[in-house]
Amino acid sequence: MQRLPIIFGTFFKIGLFTFGGGYAMIPLIEREVIDRRGWVERREFLDLLTLAQSVPGPIAVNTAVFVGYRIRGLRGALAALTGTILPSFTIILLIALFFADIRQNPVVDAAFKGMRPAVVALIIGPVISLARGMHRTMFAVIAAAALAIWGLGWSPIYVLAGAAVAGMAWELAAAHRKGGTR
């Protein structure tokens, strides 16, 4: 059973050293909870990540909560949540207090501009990692969803709901073909 300070510390470290938002945190969470700590299996992490994307809120926070809950229940979820948001909250609070004074500083502006490409790379990394574990037919689903959202202007909520219904129907049909239920 994992100790709560270890869960808190792990997610605090992730929250402290991640720039670029939730998607940039996913590879760090993945590395810590799967590769380094062995708290969850890769397949289960993908399921938790899918669930985290499906509920309202920041994806990294949702993922941390689901992983924390998975490894230690409600207390684990609270430890992971607190560890994830505390660094960002503290940094944003400090920036808010002093940002007016440094906003026009060319060094600060250059630092933010320099971080942009790294943030993009941090977002692309988990996309490629997740794509490796997917069945080839899922790429057609991705293309159809992107076309529906960006090409046809459909609401992502309807696309997600439709994909959830289609996924359940697919699994039920597969279970029926095998002669049992899942």
The pTM assigned to this predicted structure is: 0.57
Which pLDDT value is given to residue 20? 67
User: Which position has the token pair 């944003």?
Assistant: 92
pLDDT tens for the 182 residues of the chain, in order? 568 999 999 999 988 887 667 777 888 888 899 999 999 988 888 888 888 888 888 888 889 999 999 999 999 999 999 999 998 888 888 877 877 677 678 887 888 788 888 878 877 877 777 777 777 888 888 888 889 999 999 999 999 888 889 888 988 988 888 875 55
Is 148 within the bounds of a domain? no
Is 28 within the bounds of a domain? yes
| Count of structural domains, the chain | 1
Is 124 within the bounds of a domain? no
Is 49 within the bounds of a domain? yes
Q: Is the dihedral of CA 58, 60, 63, 64 positive or negative?
A: negative
Is 56 within the bounds of a domain? yes
Is 146 within the bounds of a domain? no
With CA atoms as reference, report the closest residue to 64 among 1, 127, 123, 7: 7
Host domain of residue 13: 4-105
Is 123 within the bounds of a domain? no
